[in-house]
A and B are shown apart, each in its own frame.
Chain A
Amino acid sequence: MPEGFDDVQWLERTRADADVAAWLALIPYARRIGVSAEPDPDGEGLRFRLEPWGGNVGNVLLPALHGGVVAAFMETAATLDLMLATRSPRLPRIVDLSIDYLRTARTVPTFARCSLLREGRRLANVQVSAWQQEASAPVATARLHFVLADPGRGGPEDPGG
């Protein structure tokens, strides 16, 4: 069986190693916009990073990053953070996302940090904050709901529990 999110052994192994890079390698859109993760230098857990590539620009006059790209970055961060943070290996599937844009995202690196506010049996709520120069001056905040599925069970049409 090829390695992937539906491969239980692979998921358990990469999760035990906190190998987020192995997960990102299977997420082409995250690679295209330049998402990476590293241990949070200012705390526990992960700090995510979005590259300020030219292809991520949404306003050439300012210039500023595309708000939708910032949202995709924050969704990727929330998904991967959740996959590490759950009590047992689970596969999150997004239910909804709400994002508030607080400041213009300039063409410099953007960072994100996540908080798992609730992990239920079937649903999780994750909050994400994204910033550029200062964590205290976020460019956007988001909150997301995910359905948590057991890996190796259910195809894409399965509502996931």
Chain B
Amino acid sequence: MTPYPDRSPDAWRRALTRFVTVIPHTRELGLEVLEVTAERTLMRLPWCDDLLGDSARGLVHGGVLTMLLDTVCGSAVLRALPAPEVCPTLDLRIDHFRPAVAGVALHAEAHVVRVTESVVFTEGTLWQEAERPVARGIGNFVRLGPRNTPPGLAEALFAEEAPHA
């Protein structure tokens, strides 16, 4: 069996697509996984009017950006571990550089800075227009370890790669 960190970017893209499709909130918003490598995880949230935080002025709700940051950083964590593990968010910090505006998809990129025995440290950036970040943030995630990870999590993510599961 190929170790999880050595699997191809395409296998990982499909695995994390499954991950965000199983999560009801991100499935219903149509979140897409564009790229998953050791260096970064990239996602795209298509525009819908429910993302607004101010209808009159056409501004995106800041909470949408926090939700997206939590999701993209938490997904990058899975890619960085020896084997997928359940890792709840310990804490998040987000800085809003400029308002995100109506009608434009949001892009979210995250990378893992460091993995320890108990915690995974991540950083993320969100933008609508390249080179103009709307927000950046950091998220720390707790490793619950294999003992607290439901058996079959990895097999479910890589269903195509492990048809016997």
| Contact call B55/A55, Cβ cutoff below 8 A | no
**Docked pose: A136 CA to B119 CA in angstroms:** 26
- Number of contacting residues on A, CB 8 A? 44
Q: Across the two chains, which residue of chain A brings its CB closest to B54?
A: A5
Nearest chain A CB to B128's CB is how many angstroms away?
A: 12
Is the CB of A95 closer than 8 A to any CB of chain B? yes
Q: How far is the CA of A134 from the CA of B133 in the complex (A)?
A: 39
Q: Is A115 an interface residue (CB 8 A)?
A: no
The main secondary structure of chain B at its interface with chain A is mixed
B56 touches A26 (CB 8 A): yes
Chain B residue at minimal CB-CB distance from A100: B91
Query: What's the nearest-Cβ distance from chain B to residue A120, in Å?
Result: 18
Interface: A85 (CB within 8 A):
no
Contact of B125 with A by CB under 8 A: no
Q: Is A97 part of the binding interface, using a Cβ–Cβ cutoff of 8 Å?
A: yes
Of B6-14, B34-42, B58-66, the stretch lying at the interface with chain A is: B58-66
Residue of B25, B51, B94 near A69 (CB, 8 A) is B25
Stretch at the interface among B67-75, B77-85, B110-118, B157-165: B67-75
**Contact between B91 and A68 (Cβ–Cβ < 8 Å)?**
no
Say how far B1's CB is from chain A's closest CB, in angstroms. 23
Cα–Cα, bound, A156→B58 (Å): 9
Question: Which residue from A56, A93, A94, A99 sits with its C-beta under 8 Å from B92?
Answer: A99
Report whether A71 and B91 are in contact in the complex, using a CB–CB cutoff of 8 Å: no
A1-34 interface (Cβ within 8 A of B) = 2-7, 26-33
Query: Assuming the A-B contacts A68-B67, A75-B66, are A55 and B28 also in contact, with contact meaning beta carbons closer than 8 angstroms in the complex?
Result: yes
Q: Is the CB of B24 within 8 A of A57?
A: yes
Rounded to whole angstroms, the CA-CA distance of A56 and B19 in the bound complex is 15
- Of B55, B57, B68, B89, which contacts A28 at CB under 8 A? B55
Is B22 engaged at the interface, CB distance under 8 Å to the other chain? yes
Measured between beta carbons, the chain B residues less than 8 angstroms from A30 are 53, 61, 63
- What size tier do the contact residues of chain B reach? 35 or more
Let me know if A66 and B95 touch, CB within 8 A: no
Interchain CB contact under 8 A, A55 and B90: no
Give A97 to B101 CA distance when docked, in angstroms: 19
Q: Which residue of A lies closest to B95 (CB)?
A: A96
Interface residue B131 (Cβ < 8 Å from any Cβ of A): no
From B63, which residue of chain A is reached at the shortest CB distance? A72
Contact present for B92 and A75 (CB under 8 Å): no
B-facing residues in A79-136 (Cβ within 8 Å)? 93-101, 104
Q: Contact: B150 with A61, CB < 8 Å? A: yes
A156 near B55: Cβ-Cβ < 8 Å: no
Q: Report the Cα distance A155→B58, complex, angstroms.
A: 11
CB distance from A11 to the nearest CB of B (A): 11
B24 partner residues in chain A, CB cutoff 8 A:
54-58, 60
Q: Which residues of B contact A58 (CB under 8 A)?
A: 23-26
B99 close to A (CB within 8 Å): yes
**6 nearest A-B pairs in the assembled complex, by CB-CB distance:** A72-B63, A4-B56, A68-B67, A29-B61, A68-B70, A71-B66
